């Protein structure tokens, strides 16, 4: 993964900007289609909750795409966040390989 200075698009931003707004769907309607609470959808959309495999499978079914699409968005953000939070990056920097080739 190429690290950029700009944070990747979040799952919540993707849902809101590319699906809910253009399709005229509310978070409540999405929650009903997914079979989850509106709070769950709201927390995903606002970045307070990450996308799990189960959520990715539901989003893929509702929006007719793949779970990998949603999981890759989440993964890219997770990696970016670790490298842009000094305490977490410092822990990663301390790690050393067990075997040198």
CB 78 within 8 A of CB 70: no
Predicted pLDDT at 6: 86
pTM: 0.85
Predicted pLDDT at 100: 77
Q: Which residues contact 62 (CB under 8 A, 6 or more apart)?
A: 30, 33, 34
CB 51 within 8 A of CB 73: yes
Separation of alpha carbons 40 and 27, rounded Å: 9
Predicted pLDDT at 3: 64
Query: pLDDT tens, 62-77?
Result: 999 999 999 999 999 9
């Amino acid at each position: 993964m190429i690290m950029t200075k700009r944070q990747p698009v979040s799952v919540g931003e993707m849902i809101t900007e590319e699906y809910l707004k253009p399709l005229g769907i509310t978070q409540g309607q999405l929650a009903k289609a997914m079979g989850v609470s509106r709070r769950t959808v709201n927390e995903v959309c606002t970045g307070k909750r990450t996308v799990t495999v189960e959520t990715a499978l539901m989003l893929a079914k509702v929006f007719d795409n793949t779970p990998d699409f949603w999981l890759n968005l989440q993964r890219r953000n997770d990696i970016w966040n670790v490298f842009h939070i000094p305490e977490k990056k410092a822990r990663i920097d301390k790690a050393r390989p067990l075997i040198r080739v």
